[in-house]
Chains A and B, each alone.
Chain A
Amino acid sequence: MSAVPAPARGSLGPWLLLAPLMVFLAVFFVVPLAQVAVMSVSDPEWGLGHYAEIATDGFHLRVLADTFFTALVVSFCCLLLGFPLAYAMAAASPGWAAVMMVVVTMSFWTSFLVRTYAWMVLLGTRGPIARVVEWLGFATPELLFTRFSSTVAMTHILLPYMVLSLYGVLKRIEPSLPRSAASLGATPSSVIRHVVLPLAAPGIVNGLTLVFVLCLGFYVTPILLGSPREQMVAGVIGQQVEEFLAFGEASAMAVVLLASTLVVLGLYHRRFGLDRLWG
């Protein structure tokens, strides 16, 4: 019920309130985005040449495939690592849960750059892991600038998204549900398999989708500590602009990247409705 009687249907009120933001977004979001699409078919000359190249050229296809594959790997690593942590947080006493939440939240808010730098230290040849390996008698490991270092760092950076998504659903499970399952004869692992996991499924799907989409477009981390020979899409796009000023080519790749992202989100929306993703 409204404080003042609700305005009649079709009134101007809401549109006037929305206008500033919509106009702003139209100019400062839609136009630049449209320009990317236009450039993909107009630079240096009109035509679908760039897209043809992407579809046939082995290099581009490999980059796309690598990116997708990496995103999948990162998503599932986040799930495998994130679920135990979210579960522990949901099961812990309020004091411990708060501590864990603080750690996760701090990771969430800490800039990608800072965390990427931290991994450069950790995985570097003079870093703690290398030292331990050397101390154990093995050769100094070259962990940086590989697909591995990039994947590990991205997993770490995107993990909070997964954990928070899972924690949300796990926390909402009524404590009486696992308890009644137990009273009906379910062992603790059965309870997890048959009660907790199905109820957590929406959070799992949410987390996977979110992490996958974010990983597809990841720029900073793969460039700073990934392998220069196995780049991800975003890095390639950036390189084409920065080094070669190849706007057309870069835009075409950007459009393909955006399309992939939208397809994934579209599939999610079809099945679940996008408003669920933001909770």
Chain B
Amino acid sequence: MTKPYLELQGLSKSYDGRTRALDGVDLTAAKGEFITFLGPSGSGKTTTLMLIAGFEAASAGEILVDGAPITHVPPHKRGIGIVFQNYALFPHRTALGNVMFPLEMRKVPKTQAVEKARAMLALVGLERLAERHPREMSGGQQQRVALARALVFDPALLLLDEPLGALDKNLREQLQIEIKRIQRSLGVTTIFVTHDQSEAMAMSDRIVVFKGGRIQQAGTPLEIYNRPVNDFVARFVGDSNLLPLLLTDPTAGIGEIAGIGPVRVPAQPGRKAGEAATLLLRPEGLGLAGEGAINTCRMQVETVVHYGDSALLVGHAGQTALRARLPGLVAQGITSNMEIVLSWNPASAHLMPAVMRDGFQNS
């Protein structure tokens, strides 16, 4: 593994000495990586960002950038570019004035500063609006100015705190692509905070899922999606069926699901017969059973939602609740109160620790 560029070691934060907003966070990031902090509100993702930025002091732990600890460095000396949720553009300065601000603070000579600032505005496609004040610009334009301002001084890191939350869907998707493109071309290590899982999936090299002040899982988008380590991650990213399963023959890879019967799962050589587990089956992994299909189940369809390109079937097999997503053309004839036979490929399901009866999980 290449030398880590950003390291978080045992980072903890408590505001009142009792509850921990952050509880021992460990993370490394390589230079140029685009990492997304994903999680619900209160999960600790924004707190971690604030600690990295220096606006909050850690209760314990260290933060290292390129090998050097910055844990006790005041925020104005950290050289980290930040894009805030509400942009925080200086209302009394033009777009150009805003972008020039960090260069002025670093005593860059005026002509050079103007040149660099203009170049950065051009990079985000706003060279025409250089003389405008923030209140004369739309939300999307302000966001891009904020980005230019945060990048113009070649920061060690770029932090983005839910920057696209206030924008409408189309604009958001446009800016997601923009941000990714700029980040790629500049190669700056980036941390992006969001609660929107599709945004995280679209933009990240790696996703870090937060819950309760702890990291639940860190991995590539596909890893997070296809092999979540627990039911929280499984449910947070994408739609899921979490089916309680009993391992009847672990070495051969056979288990039993109530209401469905015996199913094939990936072989589990280390485990004992009779152990409980959870099978993660994404709805799109289910298809209409063909001839000689394995892993079949009979599903009572209660509701069908046709999206055009696909259809979501909600129902149950026995007492086990089930959700299936079929391609639109295939699902055309299906209505509620029908019984259909579905099947899935054992390799596309994922085995996870068992979820206990009261909803908690061993992990």
> Which A residues lie at the B interface, using CB under 8 A?
1, 3-5
Q: Which residues of A contact B74 (CB under 8 A)?
A: 4
Query: How near does chain A come to B84, taking the closest CB pair, in angstroms?
Result: 12
The 8 A CB mask of B36-69 against A (1 = contact, 0 = none) is 0000000000000010000111000000000000
The interface size of chain B toward A, counting residues with CB under 8 Å, comes to 5
Q: Which residues of B contact A5 (CB under 8 A)?
A: 56-57
Q: Which residues of A contact B57 (CB under 8 A)?
A: 5
In angstroms, Cα B358 to Cα A120, docked, is 82
In angstroms, Cα B57 to Cα A5, docked, is 7
Q: Which residues of B contact A3 (CB under 8 A)?
A: 55
Q: Which residues of B contact A4 (CB under 8 A)?
A: 74
Q: Which residues of A contact B55 (CB under 8 A)?
A: 1, 3
Q: Which residue of A lies closest to B55 (CB)?
A: A1
Residues in B67-124 with C-beta less than 8 Å from chain A: 74
In angstroms, Cα B205 to Cα A44, docked, is 88
Chain A binding surface, main DSSP class:
loop
> Which B residues lie at the A interface, using CB under 8 A?
50, 55-57, 74
Q: Which residues of A contact B56 (CB under 8 A)?
A: 1, 5
In angstroms, Cα B73 to Cα A183, docked, is 60
- Between A and B, 7 residue pairs with Cβ closer than 8 Å are A1-B50, A1-B55, A1-B56, A3-B55, A4-B74, A5-B56, A5-B57
Query: How near does chain A come to B357, taking the closest CB pair, in angstroms?
Result: 41
Q: Which residues of A contact B50 (CB under 8 A)?
A: 1
Q: Which 5 A-B pairs have the closest CB atoms?
A: A5-B57, A1-B55, A1-B56, A5-B56, A4-B74
In angstroms, Cα B57 to Cα A1, docked, is 12
In angstroms, Cα B74 to Cα A3, docked, is 10
In angstroms, Cα B74 to Cα A90, docked, is 49
Q: Which residues of B contact A1 (CB under 8 A)?
A: 50, 55-56
Query: How near does chain B come to A6, taking the closest CB pair, in angstroms?
Result: 10
Interface centre among A1, A3, A5 (most CB of B within 10 A): A5
Q: Which residue of A lies closest to B57 (CB)?
A: A5
Q: Which residue of B lies closest to A4 (CB)?
A: B74
In angstroms, Cα B74 to Cα A4, docked, is 8
In angstroms, Cα B74 to Cα A5, docked, is 9
In angstroms, Cα B55 to Cα A63, docked, is 61
In angstroms, Cα B56 to Cα A3, docked, is 9
Q: Which residue of B lies closest to A1 (CB)?
A: B55
In angstroms, Cα B118 to Cα A53, docked, is 81
Query: How near does chain B come to A5, taking the closest CB pair, in angstroms?
Result: 5
Query: How near does chain A come to B22, taking the closest CB pair, in angstroms?
Result: 15
In angstroms, Cα B56 to Cα A1, docked, is 8
Q: Which residue of B lies closest to A2 (CB)?
A: B55
Q: Which residue of A lies closest to B54 (CB)?
A: A5
Query: How near does chain B come to A1, taking the closest CB pair, in angstroms?
Result: 6
In angstroms, Cα B50 to Cα A216, docked, is 54
In angstroms, Cα B58 to Cα A5, docked, is 11
Query: How near does chain B come to A9, taking the closest CB pair, in angstroms?
Result: 13
Q: Which residue of A lies closest to B74 (CB)?
A: A4
Query: How near does chain B come to A14, taking the closest CB pair, in angstroms?
Result: 20
In angstroms, Cα B54 to Cα A3, docked, is 10
In angstroms, Cα B57 to Cα A3, docked, is 12
Query: How near does chain A come to B74, taking the closest CB pair, in angstroms?
Result: 8
Query: How near does chain B come to A33, taking the closest CB pair, in angstroms?
Result: 41
Query: How near does chain A come to B270, taking the closest CB pair, in angstroms?
Result: 48
In angstroms, Cα B75 to Cα A5, docked, is 10
In angstroms, Cα B57 to Cα A232, docked, is 61
In angstroms, Cα B50 to Cα A5, docked, is 12
In angstroms, Cα B50 to Cα A57, docked, is 70
Q: Which residue of B lies closest to A5 (CB)?
A: B57
Query: How near does chain B come to A128, taking the closest CB pair, in angstroms?
Result: 48
In angstroms, Cα B77 to Cα A4, docked, is 12
In angstroms, Cα B59 to Cα A5, docked, is 13
In angstroms, Cα B57 to Cα A4, docked, is 10
In angstroms, Cα B55 to Cα A5, docked, is 7
In angstroms, Cα B53 to Cα A4, docked, is 12
In angstroms, Cα B74 to Cα A1, docked, is 15
Query: How near does chain B come to A144, taking the closest CB pair, in angstroms?
Result: 53
Query: How near does chain A come to B59, taking the closest CB pair, in angstroms?
Result: 12
In angstroms, Cα B56 to Cα A70, docked, is 57
Query: How near does chain A come to B188, taking the closest CB pair, in angstroms?
Result: 24
Query: How near does chain A come to B161, taking the closest CB pair, in angstroms?
Result: 12
In angstroms, Cα B84 to Cα A225, docked, is 60
Query: How near does chain A come to B90, taking the closest CB pair, in angstroms?
Result: 14
In angstroms, Cα B84 to Cα A3, docked, is 14
Query: How near does chain A come to B76, taking the closest CB pair, in angstroms?
Result: 9
In angstroms, Cα B143 to Cα A253, docked, is 63
